[in-house]
Chains A and B, each alone.
Chain A
C-alpha cells in the first residue's frame, strides 16, 4: 500500500482542542508525523504586559482551564521572589492544598480521557463522577470550580474555615478508596493493558534528549520533579514520594499518574491536618523592582515555567509562558513513529495535551499574507 497522508485535526473527535497532525502512514503503520500547532493564539502574554499585578492574575488563570491555579501560583511565586516577600506558612499550605486538589482533578480527568480514547467509556464516566468530589471541595474552598482565584501577590485571598477543612477531610476517605480502585484497575484490567502496554515507548535517553517533562518523563524513569528538586510552597515540609516508572510506555504514564493521585490525596490530607495558624497574606508593594526570574512549578502535566521580567513599574515588562505540553510535543512526534494509526489518540492523550495553553507563538508571513 502506498503512503497515505491522514490529516488529523484541527477538528477531530479525538482532539478536544485545535492541532493538526499530518500523519504519513503506510497501511496502519505511521512513518512520519508533521505537527502544526498554534491554531489558538490568544495573545495572553501581550495582554499580561498591560495589566498591573492585581489585574493580571485572573488573566493568567485563564491561560489554562485545568491548571489555572498553576499559572497563577507560578506567576505570583516569581513576582514575590523579585519583591523579596516571604509568604506566611498558612498561605503556603493553602496554596499547596489547592495545587494538589487541582492535580487530582487533572489526573482524574486525564484517566477518563485516556479510557475514552480506547473506547472504554465506563471508566471515563466513573473517573469523571469521582472528579466531582474534588471539584466540589475546590468549589467550597475557593468559590469556583475552575478558576479558583485563590492567589494574590503576597498570599492567598481566602482563608480556609474549620468547617471547610472538616468538609474536605470528610470527602478524602471516599476519594482515597476510589483511587485505590483505579490503581488496581489500571494494573489489572485487561482491556486497558492490551491497549496501553508497549504503546508509545520512550527510553530514558530519548525522554531526556527530547526534553519531556512531568509524568511523561517520569514514566520513562527520569527521576525529576520540581516539587522535590526545587521545593516551593509547602512541599519541603510535607512527606511525599516522587512516582517514577520504568515502563516508558502509555501504561507507565498511567501508572505514574494514578500513583501521583494517591500521593496528592496524602499531601492534601497532611496539609489539611497540619494547617498552620497565622495570617494568610502579607501586604505586597504595588510595584516590583527591576529584575528577571524564571519561576518553575510542577503543574499536573509537567514542569511549567514562567519567565518574568519586571522594570520597576506595577506591570511586567515581559512574561513568557512555557507550558508543559509544549515540552512534551517533540516526544509525541518521536513516540508515534512506527506505531499503529489506531494508537495516535492514545499516545497523544498520554501526554495530556493542553493545546490552547501551548499556543504562544504566531509567525506571520508578511509576503504570503498567511499567519501560522
Chain B
C-alpha cells in the first residue's frame, strides 16, 4: 500500500485528479440532463461540459480596472486545488490509502474553501454585484455550515472514528448510517445543496438579481477553473455523503480476489454518487430561489435544530447500545 508509484497513480490518474475531473464533468452533464428531462427538454449533449471547459480556457482573460490580477488568477486555482485535495481522502475503491484519523475534518475544511474564495473574489472585484454576491456567499456559509458540519460529524460520533474510511468500514460491519440518522442525511443533503450554491440556495449568484454575483468579473480560464471547481465539489460532496451515510464503496462481505473487490467497490461508488446526484438535481428542479433573510430563518430555526436533534439521538443510541 505504501508503494510510491501506487500513491502517485492514486493521486494523479485513478481515482485521483484525472478520474475526478472526468467524473466531475460527467456529473455536471448528468445534472443538466436530468434537470432538462424533468422539464421535458432535451438537454445538452454528453461532451457539453468538456466543450465548455475547453472553450472557456481559450477565451480572453479580462482584468477589471484596479483589480489585483495575481489574486484573481490565484483564487480559482486555490478553490480547485482545495476540492481536488479533499477528494483524495474520500474512499472510492475501498479504504483510501491516504486516510488518517481526522481526515473528515480536513475534507470539510477543504470543501469550505471555495466559498471563502468566492467571497474574496466578490470583495476584490470592485463591482457592486460581485460585492453583494460575496457578502451573500459568506452569510450563507455561516448559515448552512453549522448544520452541515453537525450532520456530517454525527456518523463520526456513531462510528467512533474521525476517519471517513474507518466510518465506511464500521458501516461494513453494522448497518448503513442512514438507517440510524435519516434526519442527518436530509440535513447533509440540504447543506450540500447550499454549499454547491444550487437552487434553492443559489442566492450568491442569483442571476436575475445580481447578474452572477462573485462570478461576474470572472473571464476565460478563471471562469473555467472556477466552474471546474464547482463540478469537482459536486463529486466530492456526493461521494462524501455516499461514504458517510450510504456505506460508501464497500460490500458487506469480502470478495475473493482483491481486484474484484475493488471493482465492486467502484461500481457501488458510482451507483451511490449517482443516487445522491439524482436527489440533488430533483431538489434543484423542484424549487425556486429563497431570499437570504428567509434562509437565515429556515436555516437556524429548522435545519440547525434538526441537526442538533440528530446529534442528541446519536448520543442516546451510543449510550444505550455500546458499539462493539
Contact = CB atoms under 8 A, between A and B. Distances in A.
**Touch between A and B in complex, CB under 8 Å?**
yes
Interface of A: 4-7, 12-14, 28, 115-123, 125-126, 129, 191-192, 194-195, 340-345
B209 A14 contact: yes
B2 interface: no
A126 B39 CA distance: 7
Nearest to A115: B288
Contact of A14 (B200, B208, B292, B294): B208
B217 to A, nearest CB: 15
Contacts of B290: 191, 194-195
Given A6-B128, A126-B39, A344 B209 contact: yes
Given A121-B39, A122-B285, 14 more contacts: A13-B207, A14-B207, A117-B208, A118-B208, A118-B289, A119-B200, A121-B285, A125-B40, A125-B41, A194-B294, A341-B132, A341-B209, A342-B291, A342-B292
A348 B34 CA distance: 31
B211 A12 contact: yes
B200 to A, nearest CB: 7
If over half of A's interface residues share one DSSP class (helix, strand or loop), that class is named, otherwise mixed; here it is helix
Nearest to B287: A191
Contact of B128 (A4, A14, A117, A125): A4
Interface in B69-120: none
Nearest to A348: B208
Interface centre among B132, B286, B288 (most CB of A within 10 A): B288
A293 B285 CA distance: 50
A120 B208 CA distance: 11
B209 A342 contact: yes
Contacts, number: 74
Contacts of A191: 200, 286-288, 290
A28 B285 contact: no
Contacts of A344: 209
B211 A195 contact: no
B292 A345 contact: no
A65 B40 CA distance: 26
Contacts of B293: 28, 340
A371 B252 CA distance: 76
A344 B208 CA distance: 9
Contact of A340 (B39, B207, B289, B291): B291
B231 to A, nearest CB: 19
Contacts of A345: 208-209
A116 B208 contact: yes
A344 B206 CA distance: 12
B38 interface: yes
Interface in B245-288: 285-288
B145 interface: no
Contact of A125 (B39, B129, B286, B291): B39
A115 B286 CA distance: 12
A346 to B, nearest CB: 9
B166 interface: no
